[in-house]
Amino acid sequence: MGKILIVDDERSIRRALREILEFEGFEIDEAENGKEGFEKIKETVYDLVFCDIKMPGMDGIEVLEAMMASNIDTPMIMISGHGNIETAVQAIKKGAFDFIEKPLDLNRILVTIRNAGDRATLVQETKTLKSTVKKFKGSSIIGETPEIIQIKEMIEKVAPSDARVLVTGENGTGKELVARSLHDFSYRKAQPFIEVNCAAIPSELIESELFGHEKGAFTSAVKQKKGKFELASGGTLFLDEIGDMSASAQAKVLRALQENVIQRVGGEKDIKVDARVVAATNKDLRKEIAEGRFREDLYHRLAVILIHVPALNDRRDDIPLLAEHFLTNICSEHGIPRKSFAPDALDALKKVDWTGNIRELRNIVERLVILCGPTIQADEVLMYANPKMKV
């Protein structure tokens, strides 16, 4: 926990709290009334807020209610010299993390800060876990071909280290699944897995997305924002489609990898980060380097370990396993009894030209589940998959 806001109309209280917290290494900001405090909370990312209850104008409870209405989940600790059990209960019910009476006790303050930090970490982990479960429910690296077995063995060897990994392969082959497996089998697995799709973010915004920005750094920067490097600190940062990153962003990523330090856009302060970086691309980065579109020094920083994910057309023997896996998951998602493939239907799937790889296979299986009867037949695969048959 790093940055704390103190909202109190008594200067002596603000000064005393500031001295205590700065001695403990926290960065402190102040507001002398509720209105000023809430404006700062809207504009800046704080790790914790201390807020007095009794203040002229906008009191602490109103600040708390405004935060809840704005979906700002920064932990707030209410403080008051006129406190009683009823006031404390009211504050907690409205969403405050804790309530401390004046005069403030040093040990109580430090314990509460530590607990609030634990709670914030738990909230972030829960959000990440829910997102992961929702997106990858039932997913795993499925396959028994030699190429997939080799990838699984490589993950088992590499995951416990902090070595950077570059995952290559065509679109839809499952590069993100490899990155998540590296995270899940590492000692960082309890920390966040943060993904950035470098191809989906405009070049003028990629630096803000990766490194964050300070308020006023550019026209739409109305508040301070942490970047993905900071959010992934302690965990894993997955840079998908790294070959599409702008030249200026490449230079800053290189510095971050070399020094484990970043600067927010519009800021001058160095921020230490500790994120394991896994990158992925569908491009030939050697060719991109030769044509001046990708930095060779960044390539060598990223490609400590290389993992290539084969196209689905190069691992056709895994198609029945994958199809059965998707069939089970899709039937469950749609709430229908599990369907099945006729043996010749699986053979037909193996003959499709899978230009979209595993992503295309999943889409076709979902189409077959919706449109076909209890047992999916080969002619239905021919009809709905529209395959380009191999001779």
CATH number of the domain encompassing residue 332: 1.10.8.60
* Residues 239 and 378 occupy one common structural domain: no
Looking at the domain assignment, is residue 155 inside a domain? yes
Last residue of a domain, one of 308, 327, 359: 308
Q: Are residues 301 and 168 in the same domain?
A: yes
**Residue 353 covered by a domain:** yes
Residue 77's nearest CA partner among 93, 107, 97 is 97
Is residue 130 assigned to a domain?
A: no
Domain identity same for 228 and 317: no
Pair (210, 321) in one structural domain: no
At residue 175, the pLDDT reads 95
Omega of the bond prior to 192 within 30 degrees of 0, cis? no
Say if 125 falls within a structural domain.
no
In this structure, the answer to whether residues 232 and 291 fall within a common structural domain is yes
Residue 219 pLDDT class (50, 70, 90 cuts): confident
Helices (H), the chain: 11-23, 34-43, 60-69, 85-93, 106-136, 146-158, 175-184, 206-211, 228-231, 247-259, 285-290, 296-302, 319-334, 343-350, 357-371, 378-385
- Spatial contact of 304 and 164, defined as CB atoms under 8 Å apart: yes
Residue 391 lies in a domain: no
With a CB cutoff of 8 Å and minimum separation 6, the contacts of 242 are 166, 198, 279, 280, 281, 285, 302
Q: Considering its fold, how many domains does the chain have in total?
A: 3
Q: Which of 120, 154, 184 delimits the end of a domain?
A: 120
Q: Tell me which DSSP letter residue 243 carries.
A: G
List the domain range (segments joined by +) for residue 107.
3-120
The rounded mean pLDDT for the chain is 88
Same domain, 31 and 51: yes
On whether both 296 and 282 belong to a single domain, the answer is yes
Q: Give residue for tokens 């804790």.
A: 98
Q: Which residues of 29-52 are buried (b: 16+ CB within 10 A; e: fewer)?
A: bbbebbbebbebbeebbbbbbbbb
Is position 129 within any domain? no
Domain of residue 40, CATH code: 3.40.50.2300
pTM: 0.68
Give the tens place of pLDDT for each residue, 50-107: 999 888 889 888 999 998 888 888 888 888 876 667 777 888 888 888 888 888 888 8
- The share of the chain scoring above pLDDT 90, in percent, equals 57
